[in-house]
Amino acid sequence: MKSYINLIKYKAVLALLAAGFILPGCEIDDIPDPNNPTVESVLTNATVDDLNNIVVGTEAGMRTFLGTYYDNMGVIGREHYRFSSADPRFTADLLGKGSSVLDNNTFYTTNPWAGRYRVVKNTNVLIASVFNTTFITDEQREGYLAYAKTIKAHQLLMNLTMMYEPGIRLDVNDPDNLGPFVERQAALDSIALLLDEGAGHIANAGEEFPFTLSEGFAEFSDPAGFLQFNRGLAARVAVYREEFGEALDLLEDSFLELNTNFDKGAYYVFSAASGDLLNPVFVAPNSNGEIRIAHPSFIADIAPNDDRRLKVLKRNEAASLDNLSGLYDVALYKTNTDPIPIIRNEELILIYAEANIQEGNTLEAVRALNIIRQGHGLGPYVGALTEAALIDEMLEQRRFSLYFEGHRWVDMRRYNKLGELPIDRAGDDVWTTFPKPFIEEAF
């Protein structure tokens, strides 16, 4: 049976709508559709339009199951509770209640995993297609490869943040002959290499890409800008690899700005247009039934004059479920079409601070931390200048600056501090990793 590319019409951003554009998205399906082109058809002499459909569909697919991913990361990292009247697993399995453990064959494990690999499959099709067509120039080919390898690396990294111990598959080109699971450190090294390859392609991609990205990549829509995005992702990977000197080098070519332009970055975008997706983690204030409640420690620990308190909003009444309760809603997003960050300048500043701490550049690290502190209404850092004290300060600033962006659990794990996360009920657990998905056990 042939695989088919399902071309789904979606309207990515209002600016494009105003200009009269409708961007077609695509996902790779195994369901035959005689009205749509097959994968095989784009693998041989694909046109620029064919290739651009895959690019747009790849970006659209990056948003699939994001809500589940952020719930996984945030609940286990004790950033928020996911209260669901329909599904107790958010407060049982994810928090390790009693004898509950993480399930290797349920939605919170399998859906994000499959969603990320669906995007990886799109990038693999794009990579294969550009090597087997006569309708593009060499520069255009380099642009497509730069995009495909950068996004592929990002998607693999997201799965690796969940599958810390079992690792991930890197080679999934042939669904009938999948490559082995690769353990964490080797996977990180391979992801770093993939980003470097992407950067190499960007260097040969000319001044413009042959494709258009959504407004979420407005700052990074040409090769020069996309290189900054790529190098920012690579800096994130470098600190995960504990290659801190390398992280500083990478930041020099990223979009890092050592100022309070914290929100400059790349974003997932959403709209209410027919066929498009809404922001999956937006919940209206004071909702009931399906809600996200800020972990009580967020308000207990944040300074009264810290403007990051505005990331949560006090409810009219406390919400309670399963012997857990909270008085504040997660309020990071104000509407159901707000964009969600992929990577922001604020994270890059904190990576800069972390790398300088680890490299012994104490004064430069403090300067970066003070940009964060003073940008949010706090006074300058006056604590000890030891490495341990500065790491604690850096992690605290990451906690509040990157709240609900998928980092807290990862950060505490990589610094062996999971034991410092709060336990809300006797017998609860803080997990180190998700289990290998059940479907993978057969291969």
How far apart, in Å, are the Cα atoms of 31 and each of 5, 27, 184, 275?
A: 9, 11, 34, 19
| CA diameter of the chain | 67
pLDDT for residue 3 is more than 90: no
Of the candidates 163, 159, 179, the residue with the CA atom closest to the CA atom of residue 171: 179
Structure tokens at 267: 């974003």
Helix, strand, coil percentages in the chain from 3-state DSSP, rounded to 5: 45, 10, 40
The amino acid at 218: A
For all residues of the chain together, what is the average pLDDT?
A: 92
State in Å, rounded, how far the first CA of the chain is from the last one.
21
pLDDT category at 175 given cuts 50, 70, 90 is: confident
When pLDDT is averaged across residues 430-441 and rounded to a whole number, the result is 95
Bridge partners of residue 29, in order along the sequence: 4
Residues 6+ apart with CB under 8 A from 120: 152, 155, 156, 172
pLDDT digits (tens, 9 = 90+) for 111-161: 999 999 999 999 999 999 999 999 999 999 999 999 999 999 999 999 999
In our burial notation (b when 16+ CB lie closer than 10 A, e otherwise), range 322-350 reads bebebbbbbbbbeebbebbbbbbbbbbbb
When pLDDT is averaged across residues 251-275 and rounded to a whole number, the result is 97
Instruction: Return the CATH fold of 4-274.
Output: 1.25.40
pLDDT digits (tens, 9 = 90+) for 46-75: 999 999 999 999 999 999 999 999 999 999
| Alpha carbon distance 441, 443 (integer Å) | 5
Residues 6+ apart with CB under 8 A from 280: 63, 66, 67
pLDDT digits (tens, 9 = 90+) for 202-224: 999 999 999 999 999 999 999 99
Q: Lowest-confidence range among 14-23, 254-263, 403-412? A: 14-23
